[in-house]
Amino acid sequence: MRPKIHAHFAMTADGKISTKYLTPSQFTSTADKARIGEIRARHDAILAGRGTVAADTMSMRLSSEILRATRIKQGLPPEPLRVVISNAGKIDPSWKIFQHIGSPIVILSTIRMTQKLRAALAPLCDLHLYESPTVPLPAALGMLRAEYGVKSLVCEGGGALLRSLAAADLLDEIHLTLAPVLFGGAAAPTLTGLPGDFLPKPLAFRLAKMEALGDECLLHFKRKNIRRKIDPHSRTT
């Protein structure tokens, strides 16, 4: 079994989630920033790629005392588990995430991570290294469910990670803030990273909710269950 996987992104009106320089995502409103915490608080874990954690200087914490208190009343840890993924193992121990005491940190990587870096990170987090060029997502997600009790997680970026989840058919829901901003630029990433090959197959979603937040539009999509209709009178061999 694996956790249910939600994605939460902000996107410009021309489909960009960042600039070509991968600058921190500061193009949405203060109200939308507060919404990030509300969505985080609903899940057992927060997942992000190493590039996003570095570019956005993320702590991956819940800053709201009210949200932490609500989780405690529900019998949950004060904050969701923090999970960072890096295929090459390029994790910097000086990052902001390691400087903020909160929920445990789990690093998903591969044996490409150097021994020196493993030793530096060992006191700061739980390291899970896989003997493969890239992190096997189904196995890693299954591990999070079995060993950490993660039943649902929210992925906060970046586009390359979302593409990998989509390519493996692991996305269940998408929360998207559409901002009235235009970035342009062929080198600015979209929800699935830089333009490239098609996914192995299209993933269909249905619109579960849409609401306005000032000048922004909040969209919530849920995965469609597409089942082939079977004619009971047809013959099979």
Inside any domain, residue 228:
no
For residues 172 and 151, what is the distance between their CA atoms, to the nearest angstrom? 12
User: What global pTM score does this model have?
Assistant: 0.91
Q: Where are the beta strands (DSSP E) in the chain?
A: 4-12, 45-49, 81-85, 105-110, 126-130, 152-155, 173-179, 205-213, 216-223
The residue segments making up the domain with residue 56 are: 4-223
Query: Could you tell me if residue 192 is inside a domain?
Result: yes
Give bridge partners of residue 23 from the DSSP assignment.
none
177 in any annotated domain: yes
pLDDT, tens only, 25-83:
678 998 998 899 999 999 999 999 999 999 888 999 998 999 999 999 999 999 999 99
| Domain assignment present for 232 | no
**Cα distance between residue 82 and residue 213, in whole Å:** 28
Domain membership flag for residue 28: yes
Is 233 domain-assigned? Answer: no
User: What's the number of domains the chain is made of?
Assistant: 1
45: domain CATH number is: 3.40.430.10
In a domain? residue 235: no
Q: Give the Cα separation of 154 and 172 in Å (integer).
A: 10
Q: For 192-227, what is each residue's pLDDT tens digit?
A: 998 888 999 999 999 999 999 999 999 999 999 755
Assess if residue 231 is contained within a domain.
no
Give the separation between CA 78 and CA 41, rounded to whole angstroms: 9
Confidence tier at 18 by pLDDT (50, 70, 90): confident
Find tokens 């099979």 and name the residue: 236
